[in-house]
Structure 1
Amino acid sequence: MSKNQRGSENENLQRSTVAVIGLGQMGTRLAQAFLSAGHVTTVWNRSGAKADALAAQGAVRAATPEAAVIGSPLIVVSLPDYRTVQDLLQPLAGSLDGRTLVNLASGTPEEAARMADWAAGHGADYLDGAAMSGTRLVGRPEALFVFSGSQEAFSTHRSVLTSLGNSVHLGSDPALASVYDTALLGLAWGALAGFYHAVALVGASGVDPADFAAVATGHMPFVTSLMADHARQIEGGRFPDDDGTVEVHAAAIEHLVRTSRTQGIGTDVPELIGNLLDRATASGHGSSGIASVIETIKKGPRNV
């Protein structure tokens, strides 16, 4: 590379808005979203082919991770886990001073807290984050990204981060994004498990999955409205029976179990719910509203 070429590369890196380190499926989509929003984007990946492909789309290709860090005030890291992130960044920790590090690796709240302390020790603001809508929606308004950590850093870089989708700051505790990530995964799987069971149930009567999905998605606004209302009940510690008592729902779930058996399909999902409702009844919440099940979940099965 000639002196003029090096100078041109350094100039491009210095005016970069954001750097993306790690160009797997998610990292690539992040970089593309930043580029589509008009942000000068530096990219680095251990294998150069993925960076080359993004350079062809307008990204600035950094020769080293240190060059990517030096060239941008905002560093977004998309790597498999916290250990990989720290192993990569440790040798160039001195270059992080005055920059914001956004970490989208998967891990535990404890790992997020340790990473935030490590970043702070090297003069960097830190945001822990999680992509909650997979890769397909990245760059669209409905893609949910949650962040926690430095409020100042989030405010400073909000316009860039909203290029990814609906970017929500959860609070100054860097562990919160990891907590939400895990909780929302459980919520999604609970809903999907119910959906898969429902598709199997109606399928036994010859209903096409797409036909059922059209009706089910129309029903979901009612379900989400229950979440908002029941959250208020949980916060207040009062559980009116407007949406049915635990005993009423237990009877309905038992009907679902019997119907599933009659149709010859598995009963794992409704039996799991039925067990939870039985425990709630045994702990004295049978005549309470359905949201009182939260008290049973908090205690755990050994403390009912």
Structure 2
Amino acid sequence: MTSDLDRTPVTVVGLGPMGLALAAALLERGHPLTVWNRTPEKADELVGKGARRAATVAEAASASPLTIMCLKDYDTMYAVFDAAGDALRGRVLVNLNSGTPNEARAAVDWADERGVAYLDGAIMVQPPLVGHPGSVFLYSGSQDVFDRHRATLASLGDPRYLGADPGLAVLYNTALLDLMYAATNGFLHASALVASAGVPAATFAGLALDWFLPTVVQASLAEQAPALDAGHYPGDLGTLEMNRNALEHITLTSREQGVHDDQPRLMQGIAERAIAEGHGDRNYLAVFEVFKKANAARA
């Protein structure tokens, strides 16, 4: 729980579903709260619970030493806060929208020009989980800003500081979403394969999600992750050439069963590129060397 000493006044700018969740969590933990949104009525429920609705973003930013924003993107942030004039000067802005690492770094320059202490962040949970102690929020940039406001940020969840590079939070966020979509698409495609034989996805999930992913895939990746950093891919237990055959069989089986085959063909193509680059006698993790390079068509 947040102590009385940690109940820093906070302003929240942007009251979409996530912004509303952030504001509600801060209010529930006793922070004096000011809110602003371009559509003022979105704040009605928060105001009914004790929040103050600011008429302008300048008024909102002036009300608290710390402003947390959750807007669409960096361009929206600039448009909103440029209209606030000097209201943020000498105050702290924590940005929890999404974007790219270069956008985050440019935002630091924008903030410095305006005398604003700035911290970039990323939210790794859905709105209903905001405020739970185990819900991870990522932050990067000024460690001083993070340390000074860590107790307040902990009202939202588990704050993780990644480093001084302000682009790290959005980079981690993008990488984790990349993992999420790849894993989800893998499960969906695999479910489509067994569904072609009349097997329900719920039946397949018992084997795929309860046993195969955590016991075979996750455990193996956790054990072998240091090998990625070392570039060490011994093929004594299975080579990339062998894995290329397995990937080809997935593609052929997909076609046989009338299932969309773009995804396995893409994976097969990546393995074939790694083999062409001389990694055929190494294990499958050697495709990491392909992923680390720019696409040849765009290089």
Q: What's the TM-score once normalised by structure 1's chain length?
A: 0.87
Return the match for 1:130 from 122, 126, 134. 122
Asked if 1:221 is matched to 2:231, the reply is no
The aligned counterpart of 1:294 is 288
**Structure 2: which 5+ runs fail to align?**
1-6
Q: Using the TM superposition, name which of 258-267 and 30-39 deviates more.
A: 30-39
Structure 1: tracts of 5 or more residues without a match: 1-14
The answer as to 2:214 corresponding to 1:184 is no
Displacement after TM superposition at 1:243 (Å):
6.2
Counterpart check, 1:203 vs 2:159: no
Distance 1:135 1:244 in 2: 43
Q: In structure 2, which of residues 265, 271, 274 is the aligned counterpart of residue 280 of structure 1? A: 274
Distance 2:40 2:237 in 1: 56
The CA distance in 1 between the partners of 2:261 and 2:134, in whole Å, is 33
Match of 1:33 in 2: 25
Task: Name the structure where helix makes up a greater proportion of residues.
Answer: 1
Aligned counterparts of 1:141 and 1:29: Cα–Cα separation in 2: 14
Residues 6-59 of structure 1, C-alpha deviation per residue, up to 9 Å, x if partnerless?
A: xxxxxxxxx862211010111111112222333332211111111112112332
Contact 2:59 2:87 in 1 (8 A): no
What SS does structure 2 have at the residue aligned with 1:163? coil
1:97 pairs, out of 78, 89, 94, with 89
Task: Provide TM-score, normalisation by structure 2.
Answer: 0.88
**1:74 to 1:243, Cα distance in 2 relative to 1, 3 A:** farther
* Corresponding residue number in structure 1 for 2:161: 169
Give 1:234 deviation, angstroms: 1.6
What amino acid is aligned across from residue 282 of structure 1 in structure 2? A
Asked if structure 2 preserves the Cα contact closer than 8 Å seen for 1:147 and 1:167, the reply is yes
- AA matched with 1:155: D
After TM superposition, give the deviation of residue 215 of structure 1 in Å.
Answer: 3.0
Q: 2:107 aligns with which of 115, 128, 131?
A: 115
Mapped partners of 1:259, 1:226: distance in 2: 25
Identity %: 46
Distance (whole Å) between structure 2 residues aligned to residue 134 and residue 59 of structure 1 = 22
What is the RMSD computed on CA atoms of the aligned residues? 2.2
